[in-house]
Structure 1
Amino acid sequence: MALVTVFMLVFLISLCKSDDQLTPAKPLYPGDTLISDGGVFALGFFSPTKSNATLYVGIWYHNISQRTVVWVANRDNPITAPSSAMLFISNSSELVLSESGGHTLWKARNNISTGGSGATVVLLNSGNLMLRFPNGTVLWQSFDHLTDTILPGMKLLLKYNGQVAQRIFSWKGPDDPSTGNFSLSGDPESDLQIFLWNGTSPYWRSGAWNGALVSAMYQSNTSTIMYQTIINKGNSIYMMYSVSDDSPSMRLTLDYTGALRMLIWNSNLFAWSVLINGPTYACGSYASCGPFGYCDASEAFPSCKCLDGFKPDGLNISRGCVRKEKMKCSYGDSFLTMSGMKTPDKFLYIRNRSFDECMEECRRNCSCTAYAYANLSSAIMMGDTSRCLIWIRELVDMTKISGGGENLYLRLPNSNAVKKESDVLKIVLPVIASLLIFTCICVVWICKSRAFMLGKRQRKEIQNKFMVQYLSASNELRDENVDFPFVVFEDVVTATDNFSHYNMLGKGGFGKVYKGILEGGKEVAVKRLSKDSGQGIEEFRNEVVLIARLQHRNLVKLVGCCIHEDEKLLIYEYLPNKSLDAFLFDASRKTVLDWPKRFKIIKGVARGLLYLHQDSRLTIIHRDLKAGNILLDAEMSPKISDFGMARIFGGNQQQENTTRVVGTYGYMSPEYAMEGVFSVKSDIYSFGILLLEIISGFRISSPHLIIGFPNLIAYSWSLWKDGNARDLVDSSIVEGFPLHEVLRCIHIALLCIQDHPDDRPLMSSVVFMLENNTAPLPQPKQPIYFLQKNRPIEDARENMENSVNGVSITALEGR
């Protein structure tokens, strides 16, 4: 009896033992695994969630602790009765997945009628699952049926007989392997490029191949070389990649957010590291910069720009660009060389042309706007290896690439065309006569105005001397030599047309703001402090002292200042789009702020704050960061303004206490609003609130817009906690934005508004998290302090002073 028991145990162990082959006599059940000979990959049943209510058959890395699925058999037909599931080889040599009652969920078909019997399934160390006969005839293999991942050695069949042949599809969600919205395939219109699709719409494009058969990338810390290869077999074109021997595990994956990532396993961190990630920036998405616009990825912060000879088509640059000068279709038209470009889409491919012939093809076609030329490898294009591309009319989806790309030859009108001699005379003679008359007038005017200018110079010197004495009373300026830009009061009066009501841009707690034009045509914004604003005197001095010492692209620039009797004026650069709140909280204008613009504003404000807190020679706390104090230039780039409440920290000073709390309710951190303690972390709290407002389109204190929640903080946290953070996104941008980027911004905002200052990240960390979308983020703590507080706010546009507590609060008006 004991001998029989031992025999049974040995028999059961042999059945449960993991193997690299599946035979007709040995099906695979839930709990069993098929492991490749070298232990690299495993095949088995898995559940993407913890419930195990549904199962899938898939392949994953066996030698990596973090389960990473690279292939799924029944991705759109999950197993709902796990106890009866079975993967087996049928009598017709087909690999079949079935569950209760013999119901077939998935099948790998045998398309070969001859070759023998006794088929087996083997899992190779490459990750390829093969159904084959003993004589080696392959009946089916998983490498021909890709899901969301391409492994080294896999071939993606881009085109077959001129048609798109194969795609990889993303998962639908992080825990849903079913076919998602994003896919990768060859270009249906040409054999020269690859597309990433969102449904049926282009989401990203590779650009036309410019001749490289094999491209390689070297990673120094692992000594790994990755090769991407294009293979042309006449009627079929493949793309595949391979890696050098002894490389760590690598995979190319299209995830559910639409991100195409090349990942390598980092055995030190026990995590996947990103080698390549695309699209990596907002303007890198397909045609996001509109016709004749391009994404400049050669800069540290990529953004949309117009091609040379073009200008933005309105305020929204995503609408594209238009020509500054109309084309005249002259043979003298010139071609501007734009280097390092990803060539535009919708090209016309002309064969058997030299470089000069390609240029002539474009020159003699009045509708041709650009051309590009390259010599392709014979392995890519059989026969003719020339690649002449020309573009008719609009140019879309271009990117300027640092250290890559190719030359794009852009057609521009010839501005130096030779004029007829008669036309020249008609212009030159009147000009000479006018110059002679003008010279005489100037001589008289100079003589008369010399005395006036001398008097004006003396008055200006007196005013400047008074300004220096006045501003030297500032504690921040004492013992420092600061060069202030002074403007004479008469010049300000002239520039603003005597402070005309028609030139008024707006008004605030300390006075009104006017548009003005200084001598030379420079447009400025003039801030005129109210004469009865005693509070404004200190803020005026503070703002002049600070801005005169600060220079950054995301800080408003001070053009000059003026004190005349009881008049105190600040002159700034003029920003035509005014403040962020004018767009963000206006239903008729917020559509201008698509997600790329909002993300650009977020990053610009973050960089401006980083400069104030760390990168300037001073440590400056703004203390009133809000949407109304973010100004927008013509390209919607943000500039932080209003430094009247700012404070300077010196040396190793980390925080300060004040009995006079100033700022805007809702943006003030708990420790500042209630205890008067402020530090750089106070500004970071305000930035987090601003971030939530930019994403949602709601004011921080607009409870009537968020039913059931006292404020935006409570609403945001509730959505985040329940996994519904996407619902926070402004309805005006709910379509066409990168979900992972928006969710990351919400996550960062919640980190910034944590109750305790020590829990909030520094601005340097915030900028790093915004610009590196693969950097891990810590989990935020629930903001308890203001979560249930709903301070009643009366409609008010001006600052309100609470004389009892010494608290200066700007109340927000909901719209």
Structure 2
Amino acid sequence: MRITTCTNLFFVLITLCLVFLDVGIATDIVTSSEFIKDPENITSRGGNFTLGFFSPENSTNRYVGIWWQPLFTVIWVANRNQPLRDSSGSVTISDEGNLVVLNGQGQVIWSSNVSKLGSDSTCKLLDSGNLVLQESKSGNNLWQSFEHPSHVFLPGMKLASNKREGAKINLISWRNPLNPSLGSFSFSVERLSLPEVFIWNETRPYWRTGPWNGKVFTGVPTMRSFYLSGIRVEDDGQGNVDLSYAYVDEAGFSINILNSQGNYQELKWDGEKREWLVTWNSHQLKCDVYGTCGPFASCNSQKSPTCSCLRGFEPRNKEEWNRQIWTSGCVRRIPLLQCERANNLNTSADNIADGFLKLQMVKVPDFADGSALTLKPDTCRSQCLENCSCIAYSYDAEIGCMSWTGNLIDIQQFSNGGLDLYIRVAHTELDKERHMRMIITVTVTIGTAVVVVCAYIMWRKISKHHARKRNSKGSHQFNGGGTPAESTSKNAIVELSQVKLQELSIFNFGKLVTATNNFHPSNILGQGGFGPVYKGQLQDGQEIAVKRLSRASGQGLEEFMNEVVVISKLQHRNLVRLLGCCIEGEEKMLIYEFMPNKSLDAYIFDPSKNELLVWKKRFNIIEGVARGLLYLHRDSRLKIIHRDLKASNILLDGELNPKISDFGMAKIFGGTDDQVNTRRIVGTYGYMSPEYAMLGLFSEKSDVFSYGVLLLEIASGRRNSSFCDNENPLTLLGFAWMQWKENNISPLMDPRVYDPDLYKYIFRCIHIGLLCVQESASDRPTMAAVISMLNSEIVDLPPPRKPAFILTQDMLGSMSFKKGNSLYSLNPVTISEIQGR
């Protein structure tokens, strides 16, 4: 009996020893006494990262590295160039206090190599992925893996370039996907004259970001998305610069990897699919490779051939250029003689001044010289002209002037973003440019006139044909043959001929009748102030939306022409695309791209569809509408105020992406106007700003007010007009303001999408909405500021002031009248109009 008891006690002791041994191995530290022996490992306290031994696929070599735990992803390697040949290695603290990797014979094959250490040190794996060597007593860091990265850039890590000490912290790629030894490519931040990030192939540039302007890298058009990852550049102005980034929780965990092919990729972790998603690549296009086209040439991946000489330049080697060998680049066609002649006392330089040709939306060349910040772009031009070595300049509001004196290398043409580059050319080149513009203008004018005349002749023939056809059938559905109708149509055609339409088609009336099944009521998509909108399908299968002017509509030729003129000049992903128009007799129609999900109000105000718009989709709509408005206000060729922004004028495509529509009330600002007064007030009450509704003053801030109302409607799922009852006389704005003052914003949030985890994001959007609907226009932010607020670029938001129209909806409704015997609008939700007495 005693033997059995002793035996059981012995097994219990053995089990406890094994448990304690296992716990010891599972710690997150390494000391001289607690070392790691292959295949053991340690894990960070939160379980995110592991330090241990691994072998790449199809290899027996052993490496010491750190990998991300949810999916084996190596982020750091110690002995990159000295692999262990067997599984007898270990990781420990040496007698001198360094972290070392030993082989089976006890030889050091890798060391942290810190001098002047005490023997009392420990190494700890943090949950950020950083491996730190610390003094045991003080806890001071003696060495850390974040300062000696491998090929992965982690949140919280800093890449640096120290000009004074000649030191760098950079990434170095693997030799190949299965070999972590040092590869050919490196990724570093540089401070030449301005901070930039480079990928190097050995010692040659392979890719670059363009200059940092304090907010973005100007040569990366998609840089706005990087704000979600919190990228930061710290520049002391003395040649020392740091690059870091942090991720926000809602964006998910992200890492950046420099792969063995020299491609820098942003990866985000998809927890549901348990895989990495590539969200950005440095080398997506051929033009992303540094200097593809050689000096004085521009690269455009959307064109063929890809490379073209800058204006005023020609290929250095035409034979090679024709064979699409572009490395030799281009040379100046006509030498710059201004300075040479100005220095000649016998020659006047008054009439031979050089000039500049403008290249829009480009990645500016390498080796820019920055100057002191100036708010006047003209200063850059005069400075460059006065310097005979200056051959190009550019201007950025955050950087100031940039100039170039050497070869212009690595210019890339973008479809959006980038900067404008001004290239110095001889005065004779400017004459050629003006001559070419004249030729183009004359050609376009003649071509437009021919097209309009042909269209008019065809319209006359088709109109007469339809008139005979309708008369023979006794049809009275359409009026196409009367003299007043012909006169109206003629006037419209004349006005259309004065508009420089871009890819705008004139649709045949008969084809639209066929496409819409003779405008059958079953094809009606909706009804607006202009008239009904029909779904149609052309013979080639393309689906379209046809907006047909109603005879009972308060709108007419003016609004029709306004929409054609405005929207034909606009191209943006968040604006609905106008395909063409049709004018025959009294018929006036606008043809748009078809939006399968109709308008936003059909979702957020419909209980059966409301839940389909989860918060992520709603935020995408909020941000998309903001970007569309910013394009109208600042980024398009015309400065446009929409004046009728509301939920029913936001259309949704197949993926519920928003597109602003209905530009019949839009106004184009001329010159440098910031505010315009009008006697004809049009729009929708509830969305109209107070200064516009009361005084007829409209500006960018009028659209900002409408946007704020729309934002609050999206966040709450309620119409601004849904509060108009005797028990609750407040508008949505008034209710939002009341809840804000009581510091209880939850009742305003749509309960069908509300989630406690989303509270701070919905709260922030409501905060932004209240800033947009402040009573004073000067207090409201611009759309550029709104986008920065939405993307958390502006972290601390100011407190909002009292909104306008917070008391009663009935008071607003009483204002909906017209002068004289005019009737109320047939669709008061869509359009109301007042006239000053």
Q: TM-score range by the shorter chain?
A: 0.3 to 0.5
TM norm structure 2:
0.46
